[in-house]
A = this chain, B = another copy of it.
Amino acid sequence: MNLGAHNKNERHLTEKLSTSGFRFTPQRQSVYDVIMHKRDHPTAEEVFIRAKKQMPEISHATVYNCLDALVKSGLIRQVQLERGATRFCPNMEEHCHYHCGACGKVFDMALPKNFTDMPQPKGFKADHYDIAVHGLCADCAGKRKN
């Protein structure tokens, strides 16, 4: 394991948290780590399960609080792809989500430049974009045909 990279991540976490008025805590570190480690799109419940492995005493409410702090600090993104549990995304680049309705998998795809230049309601002050494509992933599309 690369200790340099580890320290760099921790500095980044501490900085981003504190500029948003949050303190560094081991729980926030832990939640951040599990999301950054397996770069998928887990629900709060999945984050809770993973975080418990490193920190068995962590509570449900804390996971929600930490996720909220991380989102507000611009360290992770919140995505609402469908009815039900919110998911969290470690990728802070501009990207869109391809969501397979059969297996639930989520794929990140970078967006073309100027993609978000679109007509706006007069005076609207845009903060962020959520672009999702729903359908079937290659595997599931194959299975359906047979």
Q: In chain A, residues 87-146, which have Cβ atoms closer than 8 Å to a Cβ of chain B?
A: 96, 98, 100-101, 107, 109-112, 115-116, 118-139, 141-142
With A83-B80, A131-B130 known as contacts, the answer to whether A137 contacts B124 (CB < 8 A) is: yes
Closest-CB distance, A36 to chain B (whole angstroms) = 22
Q: Which residues on the B side are within 8 Å of A65 (C-beta)?
A: none
- Whether B130 and A135, one on each chain, are in contact in the complex, defined by CB atoms closer than 8 angstroms, is no
Among B81, B112, B118, contact of A118 (Cβ-Cβ < 8 Å): B112
Cα–Cα distance between A118 and B83 once the two chains are bound (Å): 25
Closest-CB distance, A32 to chain B (whole angstroms) = 20
Q: Residues of A within 8 Å of B, CB-based: how many?
A: 41
- The verdict on A45 contacting chain B, using a C-beta distance below 8 Å, is no
Q: A80-B83, A121-B138 are in contact. List 11 more A-B contacts (CB 8 A).
A: A96-B118, A123-B137, A123-B139, A123-B141, A124-B141, A126-B135, A128-B133, A129-B131, A130-B132, A130-B134, A131-B131
| Across the A-B interface, the 9 shortest Cβ-Cβ residue pairs | A123-B138, A127-B135, A126-B135, A125-B141, A130-B132, A125-B136, A107-B121, A80-B80, A125-B135
